[in-house]
Amino acid sequence: MSLVETVKTVADQISRQQFVEVYAHHDADGIAAGAILCHAMLRTGIRFRLRVCAEVSSESLSNDTASLLCDLGSGRDDLPPETIVVDHHLPLFSGQFHANPRLEKIDGDRELSAAGMAYIVAQEMGNNQDLAGLVIPGIIGDGQEFIGKNLEIFNEGVANGIIVPDKGQTLAGRDMAEKWLLAIRPYLAGISGNDSAVADLISDAQGENGIRQDVLMSLAVLTSAPQASADGLTLLYGDTVHLQREVIEDAHALTAVIDACGKSGHGDLAVALCLRSSAEIGEAWETARRHHLAVIDALKTVQPAHNGEAIYECTDAVVASDMADVLARDWVHQTPVLIYARNGGDCRISARLPRGVEADLGPLVRNLAATCGGTGGGHHNRAGATVPCNRLGDFMKGWQEGLSV
């Protein structure tokens, strides 16, 4: 089927339901995707329950009602065939209700997020053009580009006055000090998490008419450059987006808050923001603040678990994914980065591909996880797995062998 036919099939299946169990991945892209489709269902009178989760299994799905998986499910081949999946990960699911850009030869790593896929489905369910702004956290959160279908949705939002493009600082925070204090995209060694360093930075950049942005950026780069990659530092300033219909207008800030809330176990706050409730903004920001500071604290002490290899152990599974993003993007590595964290009897594994390094992480991680009695998968450049801790050694051996082929 073409993308148009696939989207219509999925939209029609959703529209036929009276009640839908919605499962959304716990990051910005998954939560935004779930919220977009919940908006669309609400507007057509379909009742739903939305759950935010790190992963899903066939056993966890309801047998009595329709299940809709957002940014989840594509990488599983054991789901009931009637499951509805809106995703962009490498596909194994073979059910007919599966909207995934990769099935239509569209790059799901760069050109279309799960939120973007959800928006296209929502458009088939009715006039939901005002939801274009919620696609942006999916693009930013998954490190995608404004090309292909992403660019089409962006341009449509601009044309309809939903999205306003701009240029400026991209850090997320409620004031200037908080933006630098909580910086993890990028992580700034010597500044992130350091109140006194942030105060000095802002003070040194003061001019007669306020803060001089050029001086501020220069000082930040000079402070962090010895331990930072060029790719990370270039994220400090660039394209910004104002979301005219969302409760947090700055797209980078909205992305950071819903992502942090979802990953730290407060998906309800993230969903509330995406459903345009302003009552939870303060609590959501405080949750994001705590999460970012926890990531920063962990980064300050993390050390390679194996000499000479980009393999790291993290003591907190909640922050492992964000740490993997920072280590691969903001630190200089010549090989794929892997971080693992023990969580009871399981190990959570996050793998990332630094720019310029060649590997196909999704299939490698998926196959290794299956061999070790766990589950895993993802994208070509970003992947994750959960395996029993007593099989971690086997996973690591296979990881090293797989990368050396």
| pTM for this prediction | 0.95
What was the pLDDT predicted at 258? 98
Tokens of 302: 């993390």
Map tokens 């899903």 to a residue: 56
What was the pLDDT predicted at 2? 83
Cα distance between residue 262 and residue 298, in whole Å: 19
What was the pLDDT predicted at 305? 78
Around Cβ 281, how many Cβ atoms within 10 Å? 16
Cα(first)–Cα(last) distance of the chain, in Å?
35
| Helices vs. strands in the chain: H and E counts, helices first | 15, 14
149, 101 contact by CB (below 8 A): yes
Helix/strand/coil percentages in the chain, nearest 5:
45, 20, 35
Cα distance between residue 34 and residue 36, in whole Å: 6
* Nearby residues of 357 by Cβ (< 8 Å), 6 or more positions away: 333, 334, 335, 336
Q: What is the pLDDT along the chain (405 residues), one digit of tens a residue?
A: 788 899 999 999 999 999 999 999 999 999 999 999 999 999 999 999 999 999 998 888 988 899 999 999 999 999 999 999 999 999 999 999 999 999 999 999 999 999 999 999 999 999 999 999 999 999 999 999 999 999 999 999 999 999 999 999 999 999 999 999 999 999 999 999 999 999 999 999 998 888 999 999 999 999 998 888 888 899 999 999 999 999 999 999 999 999 999 999 999 999 999 999 999 999 999 999 999 999 999 999 888 876 667 999 999 999 999 999 999 999 988 899 999 999 899 999 999 999 889 999 999 999 999 999 999 999 999 999 999 999 999 999 999 888 876
Q: Please write the tens of the pLDDT for every residue from 140-178.
A: 999 999 999 999 999 999 999 999 999 999 999 999 999
Q: What are phi and psi of 98, to 5 degrees?
A: -135, 100
Residue 186: asked if its preceding bond is cis (omega within 30°), the reply is: yes
Q: Where are the alpha helices (DSSP H) in 87-237?
A: 114-125, 135-141, 148-159, 176-181, 195-204, 213-224, 230-233
Cα distance between residue 77 and residue 99, in whole Å: 15
Q: Please write the tens of the pLDDT for every residue from 8-63.
A: 999 999 999 999 999 999 999 999 999 999 999 999 999 999 999 999 988 889 88
Q: Give me the amino acid identity at 127.
A: N
What was the pLDDT predicted at 231? 87
Cα distance between residue 113 and residue 106, in whole Å: 10
Cα distance between residue 172 and residue 383, in whole Å: 25
What was the pLDDT predicted at 63? 82
Cα distance between residue 32 and residue 125, in whole Å: 17
What was the pLDDT predicted at 405? 62
Tokens of 60: 């966890």
Q: What is the DSSP string of 282-330?
A: HHHHHHHHHHHHHHHHHHHH--BSSTTSSEEEES-TTTHHHHHHHHHHT
Residue 72: DSSP 8-state: -
CA distances from 297 to 187, 223, 232, 288, 321 (A): 11, 18, 19, 14, 14
CA angle, 29 as apex, 28 and 33 as ends, to 5°? 115
